[in-house]
Amino acid sequence: METREKILEVAMEHFTRLGVRYVTMDDIARAAGMSKKTIYQEFKDKEQLVFNTFENSMRQDQEFFTKLSEESNGALEHFVEISKYIRSRFSNINPLVFSEIQRYYPKCWQLFEHYKHNCAIKTITETIDQGKAEGYFRKEIDSNIMAMIRLEQISSTFDPAKFPPAKFNIIEVQMAIMDHFIHGLLTDKGRELFYKINNQD
DNA sequence: TACCGT
DNA sequence: AACGGT
């Protein structure tokens, strides 16, 4: 594997599991089996490593979502698949990582914000529109407003002031909100399919 | 790996 | 004292 990719992979695993500030450059060098010098040849400083690590991971997520929407059999299945992905993806993430990045790595946080406003809202809006056309989602709802609400819901689960990790399991909160959100969109026909999808596995 | 500055 | 950076 390429040196740079190896570093990004090790860094992502460490940052998400233990927290960005807790993990030192020495830790990453040791885990990647290389010297710090090698890391600093690829990345200017820790801030850049953090930025590139999350940038890389978001790119991978984006690729996954694109593939998912190409393969999906409709908007509702798509939402359910995304829900599964989120569950697996976030089960290993220390929920404190996001507030940590917001506070100490503002450039990296801006990357998240940029993604939210330029990609995520568009993708969710399109999926809701598709579900309407398929007759699974209510036509009277405003797709764009619901997409924005959905993003705010997801963001809120990572805010320790709203859902303290000591009291709440983030994955459970995510799943509860997702279920509630989808029910708000569904037509009778959609609800029928939704129950069918949920009971098949 | 040892070391320095913060 | 610990950690980023050389």
Query: How many whole angstroms separate alpha carbon A78 and alpha carbon A81?
Result: 5
How many Cβ atoms from other residues are within 10 Å of residue A151's Cβ? 15
Out of 3.40.640.10, 3.40.50.261, 1.20.1070.10, 1.10.357.10, the CATH code matching A45-199 is 1.10.357.10
Q: How far is the CA of A43 from the C1' of B1 (A)?
A: 21
Full DSSP string of A110-127: HHHHHHIIIIIHHHHHHH
Protein-covered nucleotides of chain B (CB closer than 7 Å) are: 1-2
Q: How far is the CA of A111 from the C1' of B6 (A)?
A: 28
Q: For position A35, what pLDDT does the model report?
A: 95
Binned at pLDDT 50, 70 and 90, residue A194 comes out as very high
Domain definitions of chain A by residue range: 45-199
Close Cβ partners of A152 (under 8 Å, ≥ 6 residues apart): none
Residues A81-118 pLDDT 10s:
988 898 898 888 888 899 999 999 999 999 999 998 88
Q: How far is the CA of A48 from the C1' of B5 (A)?
A: 21
Q: How far is the CA of A51 from the C1' of B3 (A)?
A: 28
Average pLDDT, whole number, for chain A?
A: 94
Q: Which residue is nearest to nucleotide C6 (CA to C1')?
A: A37
Full DSSP string of A61-122: HHHHHHHHHHH-SSHHHHHHHHHHHHHHHHTTS-THHHHHHHHH-HHHHHHHHHHIIIIIHH
Query: How many whole angstroms separate alpha carbon A4 and alpha carbon A72?
Result: 33
| Look-up of token digits 């989602």 | A137
Euclidean distance between the first and final Cα of chain A, in Å? 36
Q: Which residue is nearest to nucleotide C3 (CA to C1')?
A: A24
Query: How many whole angstroms separate alpha carbon A114 and alpha carbon A21?
Result: 23
Residues A121-176 pLDDT 10s:
999 999 999 999 999 999 999 999 999 999 999 999 999 999 999 999 999 999 99
Say which nucleotide is closest to residue A39, CA to C1' distance.
C5
Distances (CA, A) of A171 to A67, A179, A201: 23, 12, 19
